[in-house]
Structure formats: structure tokens, C-alpha cells
Structure 1
Amino acid sequence: MADPAQRLHVLPDDELAALDAHWRAANYLSAGQIYLLDNPLLTRPLRPEDVKPRLLGHWGTSPGLNLVHTHLNRVVKARNLEALCVWGPGHGGPAVLANSWLDGSYSEVYPDVPRDAHGMARLFRQFSFPGGVPSHVAPETPGSVHEGGELGYSLAHAYGAALDNPSLLVTCVVGDGEAETGPLAASWHSHAFLDPVHDGAVLPVLHLNGYKIANPALLARLPAGRLDALLRGYGHAPLYVSGDDPRQVHREMAAAMDTAVETIAAIQRTAREAAAAGGTPEGERPPWPMIVLRTPKGWTGPADVDGKPVEGTWRAHQVPLSGVREDAGRLRQLEEWLRSYRPDELFDAEGRPVPAVLACVPEGGRRLGATPHANGGLLLRSLPLPPLERHAVAVDKPGAARHEPTAVLGGFLEEVMAATADRRDFRVVGPDETASNRLQALYGATDKAWQIATLPTDEHLGPHGRVMEVLSEHLCQGWLEGYLLTGRHGLFSCYEAFVHIVDSMVNQHIKWLKVSRGLPWRRPVASLNYLLTSHVWRQDHNGFSHQDPGFVDHVLNKSPEVVRVYLPPDANTLLAVTDHVLRSRDHVNVVVAGKQPCYDWLDLDAARAHCARGAGIWEWAGTEDGSRDPDVVLACAGDVPTHEVLAAAGLLRQHLPDVAVRVVNVVDMTRLMPYEEHPHGMPDHAYDALFTRDKPVIFAYHGYPWLVHRLAYRRAGHSNLHVRGYKESGSTTTPFDMVVRNDLDRYRLVMDVVDRVPGLAVRAAAVRQAMADVRTRHHAWVREHGVDLPEVAEWRWTG
């Protein structure tokens, strides 16, 4: 089903021969990595000891990836393109490593793996070998921004890389197994957010080799007409390449690549000329091209083994020939397979690729293994962040006024967005929630990105917008990851409960950053910053389904050198934390903050100092006078827990004035960890000075209470630590009823003080009973009136 335009491109025979030589060399190197420990050029007959004792790797996808790499080299060199490729098929490492070694970029990064026989032997030995490199495309692989072990995210990463990169062509190979995942299926819609004026282009290559690890691939089995209708319905113009005859496939692939690149250039040229003239192109924009490549799985590998077909079947997925060391017949078959690529024609006596092999390879930074876009820290510029004083709220005394923290932050982000209008290296993504999360001030500086039809009732949609909303957390995460890894900055705003949708994606990004931090040639990139709002304690109106603060727990399980979690209690601390995380590098920062009005506790200077400490005593809130140790520590982390702790502190002032109370607020959750376990952790002496070694600590925490116990379990005072938090008791109810249901309310906290401070249980029994009575009265009141008790709704700090 080749497009007629493809036939206009004719590949000369000499160029075809050079492309085939490069492809054969890449195939040879890919197979060699899976099998060989020694004898890389087959200068003598293969022996069992030349073969690895454990055969690990994935052959099935490698020939197709090598074909794409070869032909992408050709168009990049011929047209002097800036290009990046995202390799989606799982564990396609042998192919991408082979090609980066061929183009010389691997040896530049790793001088101990030179482009000769010695280097080839090291390349082979290290693959999937202890102390070596992974079997998938990992951070160690030059030219990569995408780890192919977990499937579904390649196309979203590719579009993220293309955003605000107007000269960049991002080719993305989508495996037919990956094409079955939900995130990938949603990613086909990404072109609706791609601006042909300011962004680059994405060229998807759907590689249909027919099988996954053990089953047929769905799209590969669709009738041709249905597949074509599906892809056109997604908004793409597919170009088809198929077959198992290398000469034919090379010719078709070259023609498809030429057609696709020329179509992309025409779309961009039309849009950019219209924009330069002050308008937009007339009529509907042509669909972006894509390539559908259909070749056999394990192409050019063993046709059959022990009478069972291998090439073109699921048996080629991983290691098509096993037991090679033990079976002389299979050893001979492996040698025949490797020699079928005619390595003596491809490499000289010293193991260097011959000129014909490298004829299609670009030079310098145009090489796919050397593109700076795959090492984004090389391109990264610091954000022009405005002074916080322009956005901070005035705080004459704690608790005198209230603001919506995220609305205050919205003004700050608007200024950042405006300051980056020309350089275009900052984006905010989120699933249809920017205004809901009170960040609508951003629309004063930019629209929401949108490239398809609009209606008169639409607001803030525009073709050049840099706020990106789509009701897919997977796409938001994938776009932002691709954007950050190619050298830009961003923020992901999301409802707290639903950020869990990207749990697995953030796992992979954290692992990527952990490994990258150990690679001196990988330059630091901007951190992945989450703003989680519409949080558990103020989802009283939406109910139980929207109440889950557990993303923090998930992230804090991960690499401590990468992860950070912040719970600013008011507007100014949110500003200070955001300023910090937007300046940080190579981290995943989770910031949890409310969007509802809350009291302002700290002025800007105090907020900065408090955030720099990460945790500290609020002397103005407690009643200790310095003449003796506190009787109890009331600790808090999060805006609503802080509110309840301060209300509890006020009740204790009123009912138990002789009890010395210390109030500690925690902004940075990792401060609770020992410094040996996390870079932000406190040494024991600092923790003990803050929380004491032997006094009861009542800790009101935003999320699941057991997390605090886990972080602080090694501390001397852990046996005195009592944590209140969310206990999976949610519903559609009032805001205060949410905290009462989970025993986080001020009255329960006072009861905890009475229960845990020695000597209070008897002499303060009446106070405890009074607190319990208010909780009982609250229960009846909210069910009768539908609102919180007046003394709760009208409470304010008077300390």
C-alpha cells in the first residue's frame, strides 16, 4: 500500500549498497553483543569459550531498529538535519549500541571501547554482562533519552522532545507490542498539540514485526484497510514499507523517509511563512506523515532451529539460538549466521568499519549518538525567575489573613512564563486542571496549546500556547519528561489522588536520573517538578474516590539522591519551595499544597528561612518559655495538619496553660530521615534538639501516618512518636468532618496530649471529656446543617 509519492524517489545502486553495508554491520554487531565473549571478527573458527555462558538480550527487534537507524542516518546527512531518535521497542539495546559504536559517538564517550577490534570485543563482552551495560536503551547509551524496558511512553517522550525545538526532527520507533498499551494509544493524539511554527516535528515509525514475547501483536494482525483507517483516524498520513527482500525494503524505506521529511518541511514552511506574515495558513493543516514498517521478527537471523521456524515468529524475540556452548551443531549454526553478514567486507583487519559502512553516517553533532538534544544538560539555561517579593503576601502577624496558595503561585508562574516567551523553554502541563488548581493567571502570559478546531465558546486556546492540558496523566508525564531530558524546564500540576496514574512512569524517570548522575558525560537536567493540589483534605466535595495522599509514600521509596518531598503550609512557603525546585537539577520534587484559602503564617523572610531549614520550631505558636523542656511537641506537615495543630495549640493555651507546648513544622519530609540515608536528613543530635529524646510527640501529618514512622524509626524518641494522618476514612462531607473521620482534628490532638503527657490523664480528665464532647456534637451538627461547627468555621489564630 505504498503512497504514490514514494515512487518519485529512486535510490541509486551505489547508495543502496552502502546502506546495506551499514545495516549488515549493525546487525552483525547486534548479534555479536548477545553471543560473543571473544573472537569478535571471527578470525578463527568459533569455539565454545568464545560464547557467553549466559545468553541475554533481544534479537527480534534489532534488525528493524538497525534499518531505521541506517536510513535515518541517510536523510540526516543528506539534508543536514538536527535529529533525535526515540527507540520504543523493549530491550532494543543491541541495535542502538551497535549504531553508536559505528558512528564513533560511543568511543568518544567511552574511550576504553575504541572503534577497532579491541573495542568491538569490549562492546560485545559488556552487553548484559556483570559490570557491563543493560540490554535495553539506557542512560549509558549515547543518543538516548528513553529507556525501553517499560513500554508505552516512547511517542509521548518524542513529542516532549520536539516541543519548542523548531529545527529538530524526532523520529520515534513504536514497537507493535508497545502499540497495544494505553499510554501509547493516547499518544497518537499528541500532534494536536504540536505547533508547526515553534515546535519541531515527530516522525513515528510503527514497526510491525508481528509478535511480542510469545503472542501475536494486535496491530500486525489487523487487515491492511482497518489499520490504515485507524492511523488516518488518529490524524496521520501513513507511508508503508514492507517485505523481507533487503534491496526492496531499502528502496521503499529510503523513499518513505524522503517523502516524510519533505512533507514535514512543507507543513512547517507553510505555517511559518503564514506566521511571519501575521496570519495562519488557510484551510485545514495536512496530516503529519508516519511510516509503517513491516518486516519479519528476527529478520536475517536463523530461519529455523531444530526444525522449528524462528525468523518471523515469536521464537526470535530474545535469543534465537540457545545452548550454543553445549551443542556443536548450534555452535556451527551461530557461526554460519554471523558469517552471513560477511564481516570481512565490513571491517578492516584492525576491526575498523570500512568507508562504505560509514558512507551514510553524519558527522559531529548530527550523529544520532552525539546529538546534544539527547544530553539536555548541554543545552539547559537557568530560568529567569522573578524576585519572590513581587508575589509574596504581606504577613503582619501569623494567621491574620488568608490566601489561596496556588493562586499566589499562579502569579509567579505567569511571570516565569512571560520571561521565557522568546526563549520558549518553560511549560506547565496538567490533566485539564490548570484553572481548577488556581493557576489560571498563567493565561495572562500564554494560551493553552491547541492545534485543531476551536469554537466561539472556547477560552485560552491558541496554536502557540505553552500550557498543555490533556486528560491523560500519562501524556502529561511523557511530554514533560521528553521536554526536560532535552534541556528545558517545566511543572506538572495534578490532582493529588490521580497522580498515581503515573507511578510507574516516575519510577523509570527516577531510575534514569539515578544512573545519569553517575555518568560524568551526562550533564544535569532540570528537575521533574510536581505540584499536587486539590488534595485529600479538601476533596470533601468529590468524595472518597478523590482522596489519596499516597504518591509521597511511593516516591520516598525511591533513590534518596534523586527524590524530594515538600509540604509548604502557606502561600509564602509555597513560593519559596517552588523557587527552589525550579532551580534544582536531576531531582524529582513533589510539592503538595492546597488551593483553598488558608491562613498566612510566615512572611517571606521567615518562609525562606523555614524552607531552608526544612523543619523548625514555631516559637510564636508554642508556650515553652526556655526555662524548662517542653512537656509535649506538636508537630505538623501539610497545610491542613498545620491548621489543626495551631488550633490544638490554642485550645491547650486556653484549657491547660501550665503545659509547655512546642510546635514544630516540617516542610521537607526527608529531613525526618537520618543524614546517612538521605542528603537532606538530619543528624541525630539535630533531630533530638527539635523533637526531644524523651517527650511525647504528637505529629499531625498530611498523608498516611505510617510514613512518618518509617522515616523516623531509627530515632531515639521514636517510641514517643504518635502520628495522626489519613486512614482511608473518606466520603463526601464537610472539610472539618474529613479530619474528624481520620482523627486528625484539633480536639483529637488535645486528647492525645492528655493521654500521653505524664500526669495529665487524671488531672485533665475533664478537658479530655470536653474535647470528646465537641467531636460528638460535631457529628450531629454536620449531619443536620451540612456545614461545620461555627467555632471551627470561624476559628482564627489569636496566640
Structure 2
Amino acid sequence: MEILTSQSTFVLSDELLEKMDAYWRAANYLSVGQIYLYDNPLLKAPLQLSHVKPMVVGHWGTSPGQNFIYVHLNRVIKKHHLNMIYISGPGHGGPALVANTYLEGSYSEVYPDISEDEQGMKKLFTQFSFPGGISSHVAPSTPGSIHEGGELGYSLSHAFGAVFDNPDLIAACVVGDGEAETGPLATAWHSNKFLNAKSDGAVLPILHLNGYKISNPTLLARIPHEELEQFFRGCGWKPYFVEGFEAGDMHRKMALAMEQAINEIRTFQKNAREKGDDKRPLWPMIILRSPKGWTGPKSVGGLKNEGTFRSHQVPIPVDQAHASNVELLEQWMKSYRAEELFDQNGRLISELAELCPTGDKRMGANPHANGGLLLREIRLPDFRNFALQISSPGSVQGQGTVTLGNYLSGVIKLNGKNFRIFGPDETLSNLLGAVFEVSDRQWDAQVMEEDEFLSPSGRILDAQLSEHQCQGWLEGYLLTGRHGMFNSYEAFIRIVDSMFSQHAKWLKVTRELPWRRDIASLNYLLASHVWQQDHNGFTHQDPGFLDHVASKKADVVRLYLPPDANCLLSVMHHCLGSKNYVNVVVAGKHPLPQWLGIKEAEIHCAQGIGIWQWASNDQQSGPDIVMASCGDTVTLELLAAVSILRKHFPELKVRVVNVVDLMKMQSELEHPHGLSDADYDSIFTLDKHIIFNFHGYPWLVHRLSYKRANRNLHVRGYIEEGTITTPFDLRVQNKIDRFHLVIEVIDRLGNLGSKGDYLKQQLQDKLLEHKHYVQRYGKDMPEIAGWLWGE
């Protein structure tokens, strides 16, 4: 344990201590005012119930500790000329960040109507947790924030993502002790094994131990001191403990801890950058143990409040039923002596305002926390140079992600420190191995002789098996103005369902904030997908992420299912160059027939949907049946079904439709990419049966197209059937195979006569033959594995 004593060479002067304590009181006063007050912000008149909001909601418990941290960070920023952002991990810490950005002036710069005077303070208070106002947690509307505080667990991952390739940036990350109990946060302590002191910035974690969650104690606050220290040392950190209750003593301890932490960070970076020291540092962190609801009411209603779970939310109930508590609230607010902190006009007095950094050095105005300000356009190679040569549809076998890997290696080469690939140990498994020809994985732990692709300066972060970590790193990287991609197994991307939701909500809100600049899109590549699990079985089969994403705001989400490798190149090229979206691309890695040359693929993907004229025969008379697909494997089976129909019913007019952009199925009134009713009807007809072979759960297509005029839509997709089996047998079990598709056409049309009856019987026999064959030989029948379009 690092012992912090007055014998250190650093001493916080009494004058500065008093000013910092006064500044802390000002931030605490503003935090309380936000929770409670509707009017009378400076308490110039005796407080009355009418001055209090009719519904008092919010969270006080974490705010005073975060206010304490913020004023100390301001001091080291000014002294050492630091480039620092603040990440607030504790839930519902909004009052603290709003208060501090207001005090430093960055809040009023973004929101001029919240002015630095009495009237502005009234608006600041009124808007908090008030209809049409701001939320009780740190949000996109909070200047200086890159972290949505509504859900716990991701602050430390975001902090590391922010400092990758940002050598001058320090991310001060406050981790709540409740948040520290989440799986993602517990994993994130190991991010320090991926940080390169030479080319990356630094993260200063500040674990805020205030002892309680909503109504329970926190684990890390209730274990012995030595055990807590051993835990963090075991995770590769050097903890500095700041503990106590008395404000003056705590200010001195915190100032000393901050000074030592910043000096160590700078020393490590200097040694790495100037002396070539490649030893992994034992990075500093601070553990602040302070009372929950520090400086709040000691007791309320005869029950202890400060230092207990009762201070977590609203410490003092004040409403019609508790009108007598107005006096208690007034006493609490007056304990901060606002008349010493703000002038008669409500502005922070000058000697306290001088404690703030200025300009971009203010944490609320740091451009890294509004990443679009720093965003450099990504440089993309010509995807056409990586295309597969296709002489005719289906004549070539190819692997989508192998082809894409070659393209991504070109992206890495062109972008230096402006692009990264993230993934949970699946980059090679997803057959993107070409990227390792131009970059290693970033890794700063032990390396052994037999290891591959590990170095401190790699561009690929996939060496930790945690989807949460990869998502958090990527979000932090994007939110601070860079570009990236997340590749994962399709089934296990569900692990970050909630993280995706938070990011999508962030993007939705920032679109409504003119001061928030556009950032690069969050791009998912989902490979090893539901239809390609020969040995993994049922556990690896879940296409439900598409359903989850489709439920979010249409302005934000995009879903792409390219049918072949050249379409994948075109789609990913578009996604990597886009901004302010979440793009989900689903692509296979196994050999499949390739359908479109690169020119045709580019046109098809730009349209997002189209009739494949080369596979259709209805040009002269219109279709008897529409056969549609969305996804690579289902497109193969659909075309195989069409070939059977063409062989046995040459007179049958079949229209083949392929969908790349799933949101084309929605109306243009519901999604920017949606088709107009006229265009939809032109493709799918008004009344013909549509057999739609879909990559995911069938009801998603029904949900997207439920308002369309043609109600004869019959969707096949994944129906939760699976095991360890052959590729074709998995398709048969879920009835998306060619034989089931043809049988459905025969049943739906009902006018194919005895030829239809006999063919249906043949196909049912073929399904039994297939079942016996795979059970005996463990592989698909030669006629399936060797099928070619046009034969």
C-alpha cells in the first residue's frame, strides 16, 4: 500500500485547500439545487414549498464524491497542463457533472440560455429530472461526456478505448463501487495489459468506495483493506488509498495521491517514448473511500442518512406530505454558504473561477469528448481491386470473409492510427487472417516463443475473450474521433445487446444536439453465423441480434446481408465510410457459390434490393411466383430451388428477388432506406405468392413488411432447430432448404397438377434419402455439395 503522509515533498497550501474546498461546496450546492429546487436558486428569500419541484427525483449519494474528484482533477490539469477527459461510471451521477461543467463555463457555452447568473442557475435547477429537461445520469447532453451513465459496467472500457492512439490524453475514469460489481467492469481492469505507453495515452481509474448501492452494501467496501489492495495489485495496478471523513485531511490526501499518480504516468510515458523502456508499467489508480452522500444531512426522520444507503437517491423527502422538511432542506443547502461562493448576480466568484482550467483544457470542453471535432476521414482502398472474378453466376466458389480480410488489410495500411479492428479472439476464426499480414494484435503482457501476432503496437484488439470489452473499447475509440470495426460470432454478439442499445440511444440523442459532431459509425461484422456451425451445434445458432437492432430508431440502424463476397466488399466499404450509424453486416466464411461480378455487386448493393434477371424467366409475362432471399446461405438454397422448378416446370414464370439491405422491406415512411409502396409492389407484385428465404427469424420480415398490400408473404428462416450436423442438414431441419422451398411452391400455387404431385413425392423421398445419408456418412450428398447453378 502506498502510504500518503505529510512528509512527501508535495504540500497543498492552506490557501489553496480553502479555495478548493469552497469550490467543492459550490459544486455540492449546485448538485442539491438540481435535485430539489424549482425557484429561489440562491436562497435569497426563505425557502418555501413552492420553491421546491412538485416531484423531487434524482440521486445524491455519488455526487459529492464526484464533485470532490473533479476539483482535484482541475488542479492537476492546470498545474501539469494536462489533456484530460472525465468519465463518470457511477449510476445517476448527472448532478455532479452538470454542476462542474456549469462552474467551469463549458455548460453555458453549449447552452447559452443556461447563463452564468441567477436566472441561468434557476433554469439549470429546473431542467433536472423535469419534463423536457435532462436526465439524472450523465448523458449525451452533458458537455465533456463520452459515457452514458444510465447503465453500469462500461466506463473503464470506454476510457481505454478513448486513449488508444491518443498519446497525450489521460482519461480520468471514476468507477462506482456498485458498478465495480458488474461483469464488464470486473473484466475491464485487465485493459492495462493492452496499453502501449509509447503510443497510447493513459487511464487513471478512481474507484469511488462510498459503501452502498440502492439498498445494499457494496462488496469492495466490505472486504479487508489488504485484500482489496492485493486484488488490484493482482490486476496490475498500483493503488493509492485516500480514506477518511474530515474534509481538510481528505483534500490533502487526495491532492498528494493525484500528484503521485500523474508523476508516475508521465514517468512511464517518458521512459517508453524517450528511453525505449518496453516493460509493462504498474499503472497507478486511486481508491477514494468517502461517505455515501458526503456533506448531506446526518440523519432524517431519526434515521442515519449520510454514510448509508438512505442517501443514495433523495435524502430528504419534500412534498405536500412532508412539508415540514422544507426547513431541513434549507438548513442543508445553507450549510454550503452559497453567499461566499456566488456573487449577487449568481456568478461564481473570480477567485474560485480561477481554479478552473481554461479553453479546451476544461474537461467539459475537451474536444476528445466531442469526437466529431477531431474526426479525420477514413482512407479506404478501392474495394474493386479485391474482388473475385466471376465469369457467370455460380461459376466460382468463394469465401466472403476471406475476401473481406484482404480488403481490411488495405484499410489498415492506409490509416495508420485512425482505424482498428476489435473482436473477442475470433479474427482468425472468422477467416480475416489477412489482416495479420500487415499488423499484429496489440498486447503488453508476457509473450512466449510459440505465440503469434502479438506486439505492443498492433492495430488489432482481439486478444481478450470478452465481447463487452471489445464493444466498450470500440465505442470509446469512436466517440473520441476514430474509426473501427467489431467482428464477432453472430450468436455471441447477443452478449452486448444492451451495450448496443445504449450506443444507439446515444446516437439518437446526439443527432438532436447541434453541438455534438458526427462520429464514425459503429460497424459490426457477424460471421460464423447461424447456418455455418458444422461442429459447434445448437449453442452457436442465434440470428436474433438482427431483431434487436431492427427495433431501434430508424435514423440510426442499418442491416445488411450480402449474398456473396463481392457484395460484402461493396457493403463494408460503404459502412466504413459512413457516420452516426450502427451498421450490422452478416457474412459467411465457408465456401459458397459467388453470384455477381464486382460491377453488378456494386449496383445491386447501392439499390439494396433487386430482381435478379439472370435467374428469372418472367420478363415477358410477369411472374406466377416470386422467390426472394436475404442472406448468403438462404440465397444458395433459393436458387437451387429455382433450378428445380425451372427443370420440372419450364412453363412456370419465376421472379427471383434478392435483398441486401433488410430495411428495404419497411415502408419509406418508417425507415429512410424503406421502399415506397409503388416500388415494393413493382418488385413483389400486388397479389402473387412470395416465398421469402430469410437468414434469421421469419417474423422479422413479417414485422418489417406488415403494412404492405400483398399479404401473400410466406417467410422461411431459422426456427430454433439445430444440432451438430452437416451444413445442408441444418438447413433441412429449419426448412429453408431447396426441397422444402419447392414443396411450398407446389402447395401455394395448387395448380401444377399431377406433375406437381409427383415432384412433391420425389422431394419428400429425397429428404428421407438425405437424412439416411448424413447419418451414415457424416457429410452431405454429392448432389448437394456439388450443385452448380445452371446444371
**Equivalent residues of 1:2, 1:241 under 8 A apart:** no
Task: Rate the CA distance shift 1:672–1:209 in 2: closer, same or farther, 3 A.
Answer: same
Matched, 1:542 2:543: no
Matched, 1:369 2:350: no
**Equivalent residues of 1:86, 1:158 under 8 A apart:** yes
Partner of 2:70: 69
Q: Out of 312, 315, 328, which is 2:310 matched to?
A: 315
Give the Cα–Cα distance (whole angstroms) in 1 for the partners of residues 81 and 761 of structure 2. Answer: 79
**Equivalent residues of 2:54, 2:319 under 8 A apart:** no
Letter in 2 for 1:273: E
Partner of 2:716: 724
Partner of 1:108: 109
What does 1:259-658 align with in structure 2 at a 5 Å threshold? 259-275=260-276, 280-281=277-278, 284-421=279-416, 424-469=417-462, 470-624=464-618, 626-658=619-651
Partner of 2:121: 120
Question: Could you say what secondary structure the match of 2:241 adopts?
Answer: strand
- 1:392 deviates by 0.9
**Equivalent residues of 2:4, 2:257 under 8 A apart:** no
Give the Cα–Cα distance (whole angstroms) in 1 for the partners of residues 664 and 69 of structure 2. Answer: 48
Matched, 1:667 2:660: yes
Letter in 1 for 2:3: D
Give the Cα–Cα distance (whole angstroms) in 1 for the partners of residues 82 and 439 of structure 2. Answer: 29
Partner of 1:47: 48
Q: Deviations over 1:612-665 (max 9, x none)?
A: 1111000101121x2211000110000000000111111111111111000000
Letter in 2 for 1:143: G
Give the Cα–Cα distance (whole angstroms) in 2 for the partners of residues 236 and 621 of structure 1. Answer: 61
Give the Cα–Cα distance (whole angstroms) in 1 for the partners of residues 470 and 145 of structure 2. Answer: 20
Partner of 1:228: 229
- 1:776 deviates by 1.1
Give the Cα–Cα distance (whole angstroms) in 2 for the partners of residues 476 and 5 of structure 1. Answer: 39
- 1:329 deviates by 3.3
Q: Out of 747, 751, 760, which is 1:759 matched to?
A: 751
Partner of 1:734: 726
**Equivalent residues of 2:567, 2:596 under 8 A apart:** yes
Question: Could you say what secondary structure the match of 2:350 adopts?
Answer: coil
Give the Cα–Cα distance (whole angstroms) in 1 for the partners of residues 110 and 548 of structure 2. Answer: 34
Give the Cα–Cα distance (whole angstroms) in 2 for the partners of residues 695 and 32 of structure 1. Answer: 64
Give the Cα–Cα distance (whole angstroms) in 2 for the partners of residues 694 and 249 of structure 1. Answer: 76
Partner of 2:691: 698
Q: Deviations over 1:79-120 (max 9, x none)?
A: 111111110000000000000111111111001101111110
State TM-score, norm by structure 1.
0.98
Partner of 1:3: 3
**Equivalent residues of 1:49, 1:325 under 8 A apart:** no
- 1:769 deviates by 1.2
**Equivalent residues of 1:22, 1:356 under 8 A apart:** no
- 1:360 deviates by 1.7
Q: Out of 654, 679, 682, which is 1:686 matched to?
A: 679
Give the Cα–Cα distance (whole angstroms) in 2 for the partners of residues 248 and 5 of structure 1. Answer: 11
Letter in 2 for 1:680: H
Partner of 2:85: 84
- 1:359 deviates by 2.4
State TM-score, norm by structure 2.
0.99
Q: Deviations over 1:221-257 (max 9, x none)?
A: 0110000000100100000101111111111111111
Give the Cα–Cα distance (whole angstroms) in 1 for the partners of residues 461 and 753 of structure 2. Answer: 55
**Equivalent residues of 1:324, 1:334 under 8 A apart:** no
Question: Could you say what secondary structure the match of 1:736 adopts?
Answer: helix
Question: Could you say what secondary structure the match of 1:634 adopts?
Answer: strand
Task: Rate the CA distance shift 1:74–1:744 in 2: closer, same or farther, 3 A.
Answer: same
Mark the runs of 5 or more structure 1 residues left unpaired by the alignment: none
Task: Rate the CA distance shift 1:395–1:5 in 2: closer, same or farther, 3 A.
Answer: farther
Partner of 2:740: 748
- 1:326 deviates by 4.2
Matched, 1:142 2:136: no
Question: Could you say what secondary structure the match of 2:75 adopts?
Answer: helix
Letter in 2 for 1:777: E
Q: Out of 769, 775, 788, which is 2:767 matched to?
A: 775
What does 1:120-269 align with in structure 2 at a 5 Å threshold? 120-269=121-270
**Equivalent residues of 1:18, 1:359 under 8 A apart:** no
**Equivalent residues of 1:393, 1:571 under 8 A apart:** yes
Q: Deviations over 1:188-213 (max 9, x none)?
A: 00000011111100000000000000
- 1:600 deviates by 1.3
- 1:2 deviates by 4.6
- 1:134 deviates by 0.6
Letter in 2 for 1:635: A
Give the Cα–Cα distance (whole angstroms) in 2 for the partners of residues 313 and 667 of structure 1. Answer: 55
Question: Could you say what secondary structure the match of 1:509 adopts?
Answer: helix
Question: Could you say what secondary structure the match of 1:764 adopts?
Answer: helix
Question: Could you say what secondary structure the match of 1:357 adopts?
Answer: helix
Identity score, percent: 55
Q: Deviations over 1:740-768 (max 9, x none)?
A: 00000001111111111241255411111
Give the Cα–Cα distance (whole angstroms) in 1 for the partners of residues 311 and 753 of structure 2. Answer: 72
Give the Cα–Cα distance (whole angstroms) in 1 for the partners of residues 536 and 122 of structure 2. Answer: 61
Give the Cα–Cα distance (whole angstroms) in 2 for the partners of residues 2 and 785 of structure 1. Answer: 66
Give the Cα–Cα distance (whole angstroms) in 1 for the partners of residues 256 and 753 of structure 2. Answer: 85
Q: Deviations over 1:385-432 (max 9, x none)?
A: 0011211111111111111111111111101101112xx011101010
- 1:8 deviates by 3.0
- 1:285 deviates by 3.0
Give the Cα–Cα distance (whole angstroms) in 2 for the partners of residues 134 and 461 of structure 1. Answer: 43
Give the Cα–Cα distance (whole angstroms) in 1 for the partners of residues 393 and 281 of structure 2. Answer: 58
Give the Cα–Cα distance (whole angstroms) in 2 for the partners of residues 781 and 347 of structure 1. Answer: 84
Give the Cα–Cα distance (whole angstroms) in 1 for the partners of residues 239 and 93 of structure 2. Answer: 24
Select between 399-408 and 323-332 the one with higher mean Cα deviation. Answer: 323-332
Q: Out of 782, 786, 796, which is 2:778 matched to?
A: 786
Letter in 1 for 2:182: T
- 1:4 deviates by 4.7
Give the Cα–Cα distance (whole angstroms) in 2 for the partners of residues 602 and 652 of structure 1. Answer: 22
Give the Cα–Cα distance (whole angstroms) in 1 for the partners of residues 591 and 19 of structure 2. Answer: 67
User: What's the Cα RMSD here?
Assistant: 1.1
Letter in 1 for 2:706: Y
Q: Deviations over 1:579-607 (max 9, x none)?
A: 11001111111000001111111111111
**Equivalent residues of 2:524, 2:583 under 8 A apart:** yes
Give the Cα–Cα distance (whole angstroms) in 1 for the partners of residues 114 and 105 of structure 2. Answer: 10
- 1:5 deviates by 7.7
Give the Cα–Cα distance (whole angstroms) in 1 for the partners of residues 719 and 701 of structure 2. Answer: 13
- 1:325 deviates by 4.7
- 1:274 deviates by 3.3
Give the Cα–Cα distance (whole angstroms) in 2 for the partners of residues 95 and 553 of structure 1. Answer: 37
Give the Cα–Cα distance (whole angstroms) in 2 for the partners of residues 325 and 232 of structure 1. Answer: 51
Q: Deviations over 1:666-707 (max 9, x none)?
A: 000000001111111111111010111100100000011111
Question: Could you say what secondary structure the match of 1:172 adopts?
Answer: strand
